[in-house]
């Protein structure tokens, strides 16, 4: 079954002076359970805007978008909030953990909103999830005491503790060194494999993009399929491609 069906989706915002800015144009995308999708593109090409639409954090201004079985432009915000909480897990570049709260408290947070579980059940589920990401011994550590890689593991545990069907990762390895980034990515993938979730990863890193099975590129708000082999060549082929494009992605 399709988790996401986007057809002709656009997102236009109005700038303070009243001029419209078209961030996304005519985006077509279908995502099924278990899919591994990567989206690359230069800064400002609309990647986060697209991910926010897929994650029901924002609404398209044109086109048709179905997410988790609903036509998002015809839903109430409360419905979108519930669908997002039940079905979507986000992982961000900057982890976005609650400071001053332990790893365990951070991972329990999404369970507070789902109801139907006792304090002890929530704690047990969160502990199991932290175990799963290799942090069983750090449940009481606060984010400021954890390394970047550890913080991202906590964020992954928090994103996946409710077993979402759709995992949206916005440059999840962007703040990590290459090796830690690859480990973090492997962790997201293995949890996604266990639950059959679809995974959409936005990345600047060709080696991270290469791990997906469906490859896309956003160029000035337009989404196109990408040949990963061709792009890898473009990124590494010339002296200009690396220096002229800070994103490390062929434009
Ligand atoms: N609410 C908004 N108002 C005005 N401009 C926006 C808004 N959201 C995004 N933009 C602009 O749209 C472009 C795409 O943003 P974004 O989706 O964050 O790109 P990316 O994630 O690819 O770097 C950027 O130029 C950004 O400044
Ligand atoms: Mg972005």
Of the bound ligands, which one is closest to the alpha carbon of residue 50?
1
Tokens of 162: 């409710």
First to last CA, the chain: 32
Distance 170 CA to ligand 2 centre (A): 7
Alpha helix ranges (H) inside 64-145: 77-87, 103-112, 119-132
Atom of ligand 1 at shortest range from CA of 46: 17
Ligand 1: residue of 17, 19, 23, 24 to mutate (most ligand atoms within 8 A of CB) is 23
Distance 95 CA to ligand 2 centre (A): 14
Which pLDDT score is estimated for 96?
Answer: 94
pTM of the model: 0.90
pLDDT tens column, 148-170: 999 999 999 999 999 999 999 99
* Residue ranges of the chain with per-residue pLDDT less than 70: 1, 231-251
Q: What are phi and psi of 216, to 5 degrees?
A: -130, 160
Q: Is the CB of 49 under 6 A from ligand 1?
A: yes
All structural domains of the chain, each given as residue ranges with its CATH number in brackets, are 2-244 (3.40.50.300)
Distance 3 CA to ligand 1 centre (A): 25
Q: Is the CB of 13 under 6 A from ligand 1?
A: yes
pLDDT tens column, 99-126: 999 999 999 999 988 778 899 999 999 9
CA angle 173, 195, 74 (to 5 degrees): 85
Q: Which long-range contacts (CB under 8 A, 24 or more apart) does 53-56 make?
A: 53/6, 53/9, 53/11, 53/24, 54/4, 54/6, 54/166, 54/168, 54/200, 55/84, 55/88, 55/90, 55/166, 55/168, 56/80, 56/81, 56/83, 56/84, 56/88
Atom of ligand 1 at shortest range from CA of 50: 17
Which pLDDT score is estimated for 232?
Answer: 52
Which pLDDT score is estimated for 114?
Answer: 78
Q: What are phi and psi of 47, to 5 degrees?
A: -60, -50
Q: Is the CB of 48 under 6 A from ligand 1?
A: yes
Q: Are strands 2-14 and 20-32 parallel, antiparallel or unpaired?
A: antiparallel
Distance 125 CA to ligand 2 centre (A): 31
Q: What are phi and psi of 94, to 5 degrees?
A: -95, 25
**How far, in Å, CA of 46 to CA of 23, rounded?**
6
């Amino acid at each position: 079954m399709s988790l996401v069906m986007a057809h002709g989706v656009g997102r236009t915002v109005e700038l303070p002076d009243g001029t419209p800015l078209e961030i996304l144009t005519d985006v077509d995308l279908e995502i099924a359970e278990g899919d591994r999708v990567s989206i690359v593109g230069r800064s400002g090409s609309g990647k986060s805007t697209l991910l926010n639409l897929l994650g029901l954090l924002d609404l398209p201004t044109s086109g048709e978008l179905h997410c988790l079985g609903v036509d998002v432009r015809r839903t109430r915000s409360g419905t979108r909030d519930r669908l997002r909480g039940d079905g979507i897990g986000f992982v961000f570049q900057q982890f976005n953990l609650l400071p001053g709260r332990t790893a365990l408290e951070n991972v329990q947070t999404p369970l507070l909103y789902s109801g139907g579980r006792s304090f002890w059940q929530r704690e047990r589920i969160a502990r199991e999830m932290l175990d799963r990401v290799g942090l069983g011994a750090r449940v009481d550590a606060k984010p400021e005491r954890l390394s970047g890689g550890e913080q991202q593991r906590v964020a992954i545990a928090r994103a996946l503790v409710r077993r979402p069907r759709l995992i949206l990762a916005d440059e999840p390895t962007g703040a990590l060194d290459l090796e830690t980034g690859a480990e973090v990515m492997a962790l997201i993938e293995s949890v996604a494999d266990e639950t059959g979730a679809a995974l959409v990863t936005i990345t600047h890193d060709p080696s991270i993009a290469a791990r997906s099975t469906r490859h896309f590129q956003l160029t000035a708000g337009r989404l196109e399929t990408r040949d990963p082999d061709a792009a890898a060549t473009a990124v590494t082929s010339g002296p200009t491609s690396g220096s002229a494009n800070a994103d490390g992605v062929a434009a």
